[in-house]
């Protein structure tokens, strides 16, 4: 993808990638940026990314805070296993869940971006 002043050239994959081919598609980037669909997608992406980042950071940083500043995690559950162990081990499935949700949303945003480009083809 090559960006000029107001247009973006997207070159189709080919065997020779040394020069621009005639199959290169031109997009009017300034009209894409101004479109409601693009603005909506950017807002959704920002809300998703910021909210999941805040959640993940809070969940991760809560363990050291609770372990060092309070006695909440000192209680025993089964034998010598405390709440601190349960909380720490819960980070593994939580990480996988957050990653899988992110992958699904990334696929969704890729499809939305493709729709936007298809609607803007000259």
Considering the domain architecture, whether residues 29 and 70 belong to the same structural domain is answered as no
Number of domains the chain is built from: 2
pLDDT at 30: 82
The strand pairing partners of 43, in sequence order, are none
Considering the domain architecture, whether residues 55 and 112 belong to the same structural domain is answered as yes
Considering the domain architecture, whether residues 74 and 107 belong to the same structural domain is answered as yes
State the DSSP code for 11: P
Which distant-in-sequence residues (6+ apart) come within 8 Å of 10 by Cβ? Answer: 1, 24, 25, 27, 117
Instruction: Please state the separation of Cα 49 from the chain's center in Å.
Output: 6
- Whether 27 and 3 have beta carbons less than 8 Å apart is answered as no
Considering the domain architecture, whether residues 47 and 99 belong to the same structural domain is answered as yes
Considering the domain architecture, whether residues 66 and 111 belong to the same structural domain is answered as yes
CA angle 96, 100, 103 (to 5 degrees): 140
pLDDT at 118: 85
Considering the domain architecture, whether residues 23 and 76 belong to the same structural domain is answered as no
The sign one gets for the Cα dihedral 66, 67, 69, 71 is: positive
3-state helix, strand, coil in the chain (%, to 5): 65, 10, 20
Which distant-in-sequence residues (6+ apart) come within 8 Å of 117 by Cβ? Answer: 10, 27, 32
Question: Nearest CA to 29 among 46, 12, 5?
Answer: 5
pLDDT in tens, the chain (122 residues): 555 555 555 555 554 555 545 555 677 788 888 888 989 999 999 999 999 999 999 999 999 999 998 898 888 988 899 999 999 999 999 999 999 999 999 999 999 999 988 887 64
* Structural domain of 88: 39-120
């Amino acid at each position: 993808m090559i960006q000029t002043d107001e247009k973006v050239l997207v070159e189709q994959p080919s065997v020779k990638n040394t020069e621009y081919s005639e199959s290169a598609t031109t997009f009017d980037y300034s009209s894409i940026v101004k479109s409601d669909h693009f603005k909506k997608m950017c807002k959704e992406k920002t809300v998703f990314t910021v909210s999941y980042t805040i959640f993940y950071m809070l969940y991760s940083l809560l363990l050291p805070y609770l372990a060092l500043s309070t006695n909440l995690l000192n209680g025993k559950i089964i034998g010598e296993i405390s709440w601190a162990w349960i909380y720490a081990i819960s980070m593994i499935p939580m990480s996988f869940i957050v990653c899988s949700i992110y992958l699904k949303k990334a696929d969704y945003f890729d499809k939305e971006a493709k729709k936007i480009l298809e609607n803007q083809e000259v």
